[in-house]
Amino acid sequence: METDDNAPVEQTIEGYDILAEKADDLDRTASPWGSSYFQRHYSWPATRTVLPELSGRRVLLAGCGRGDHVPWFHENGATVTGVDVSATAIQHAKDEFGDEGTFHRADLTEPLDFANDSLDVVFSNLVFSHIEEWRPVFSEFRRILEPDGTFVVTTIHPRYLRTEFEIESYYETKKVMNEWPEVDIPTYYRPISEVISSFLGAGFHLQTVEEPKPEPQFEDHHPKRYRDALREPELLVIRAAAN
């Protein structure tokens, strides 16, 4: 379903505050959080294979949500900082994982409160489909990364979005509303050329581009979605170097 442009950032904030507040009550087949079957058996396993060595590295989780993946980064030796636009999600991360990371509320579309060259890895998981303009955000990530730093993004594949929302034009960036329990959140389709250009235009060099398949366990919870994902990817995972 499409809508007029009505303060999409505020809609996203409000929507994820609601989803964060109700997270423990959401069915794992219809949850955006790390405990969902989609993340457990599809996006997160695919992402782990692309992430660099983390021991001793300073890692920014850009859009950390409720902090679901923070323990994994901590266990792998990273110093973790998480930021998210949802104050409710950030509070949960502080309460649950305050001993394993540092958390701040931040809007990724605004300048970030990090010094130049102050991080080794920036990782963003299932966030950028909610952001309309990628290039300024990527440029900010390039600023705060060390010259040999790494940027990893897991996002919803444009092909999936175009099919799911019946988007007519391949070439135009298009806003649609993604329906979650009790909330609709702005989501943006864009062509693959715009995805790649956003990295290159910010000075990154692509290292890995993956269109992963889900784990077999995903079929137990989402049979049709699993079969569909074996035919066409639902995810795009990209690793890029800052130098």
**pLDDT score, position 21:** 82
pTM equals 0.93
The helix/strand/coil state of 237 is strand
The region, left, alpha or beta by phi > 0 then psi within -120 to 50, assigned to residue 56 is: left
Q: How confident is the model at residue 182 (pLDDT cuts 50, 70, 90)?
A: confident
DSSP characters over 87-111:
HHHHHHHHHHHTTT-EEEE--TTS-
- For 171-198, what is the mean pLDDT? 93
For 152, the 3-state DSSP assignment is strand
Mean pLDDT, rounded, for 101-106: 97
CA 205 remoteness from chain centre: 19
Residue 54 CA to residue 74 CA, distance in Å, equals 9
Query: What is residue 3's predicted lDDT score, i.e. its pLDDT?
Result: 43
pLDDT confidence bin for 224, thresholds 50/70/90: very high
pLDDT digits (tens, 9 = 90+) for 138-163: 999 999 999 999 999 999 999 999 99
What local confidence, expressed as pLDDT, does residue 64 receive? 96
pLDDT at 2: 42
Average pLDDT for 156-173: 96
Tell me the HSE value of 129 on the side-chain side, using a 13 A CA sphere.
22
> What domains sit in the chain, N to C, each tagged with a CATH number?
8-241 (3.40.50.150)
Residue keyed to tokens 């889900």: 214
88, 112, 224 from 239: Cα distances, Å: 29, 21, 29
Residue 34 has pLDDT above 90, yes or no: no
Q: Out of 1-10, 67-76, 214-223, 230-239, which region has the weakest mean confidence (pLDDT)?
A: 1-10
Show the tokens assigned to 74: 């901590």
User: Could you tell me the two tokens for 99?
Assistant: 């001993």
For residue 8, is pLDDT > 70? Answer: yes
CA distance 205 to 241: 5
Calculate the average pLDDT of the chain. 93
pLDDT for 48 beyond 90:
yes
pLDDT of 118 above 50:
yes
